[in-house]
Amino acid sequence: MTKNEKVKYCIEQLEILYPEIPIPLDHKDTYTLLIAVLMSAQSTDVRVNQITPLLFERADNPYDMVKLSVDEIRNIIKPVGLSPMKSKGIHGLSQILIDKHNGEVPQNLEELEELPAVGHKTASVVISQAFGIPAFPVDTHIHRLMYRWGFSSGKNVVQTERDAKRLFPKHKWNDLHLQIIWYGREYSPARGWKLDEDIITRTIGRKSVINNYKKKNNT
């Protein structure tokens, strides 16, 4: 297959597997999505979804959030990890949303990335999932699969994002971002990976990746 044929095959298979694409993090509006995505850094969506209801019961908007102290927020979100940094970020960005944005989450990357504890990936997730603006946030699953499929060098997530945006049609970015994440979790994980269950990698994957897998597993 040519690279274009591989890209087309990949899109087709993901559309078959995930015609409807759930958003992994539970939320009810743009603000709660922003907080959930921030909390998910170096944590799991399952763990975040267990903790956000406890936080949002106390404060599900920036006006109520700033009434909590940083220590109160930290005690609630401690199970997700990195709670000192995340609690300061949540409190700080909530105050900025009130002071600069009338309590609303801004709809562009630049203003989102100016918020405390909000990096490029978090901002990209919010604009894509909350506002439908094309973006391609790269997490560990996407980074891994873009390498396995021979679509990126695997050097860093910045390069992986550039390659994804170059290869995939812009109108598909938001869907593909989520589809690849779900596929990575279900069929092509980092650990416990079984090539015979991973139809996309088995069909279009980087030869060195497939050969290394077979050598390691004596197949």
Q: Which amino acid is at 50?
A: Q
Instruction: Please say if 121 is a catalytic residue.
Output: yes
> What gap in Å lies between CA 205 and CA 213, rounded to an integer?
11
> What gap in Å lies between CA 33 and CA 43, rounded to an integer?
15
> What gap in Å lies between CA 219 and CA 214, rounded to an integer?
5
Q: Which amino acid is at 176?
A: L
> What gap in Å lies between CA 33 and CA 104, rounded to an integer?
12
Tell me which residue of 1, 22, 27 sits closest to 12, measured CA to CA.
1
Considering the candidates 78, 88, 121, 165, report the single residue annotated as catalytic: 121
- Asked if residue 87 lies in contact with residue 70, where contact means CB atoms within 8 angstroms, the answer is yes
Considering the candidates 6, 60, 139, 198, report the single residue annotated as catalytic: 139
Catalytic (active-site) positions:
121, 139
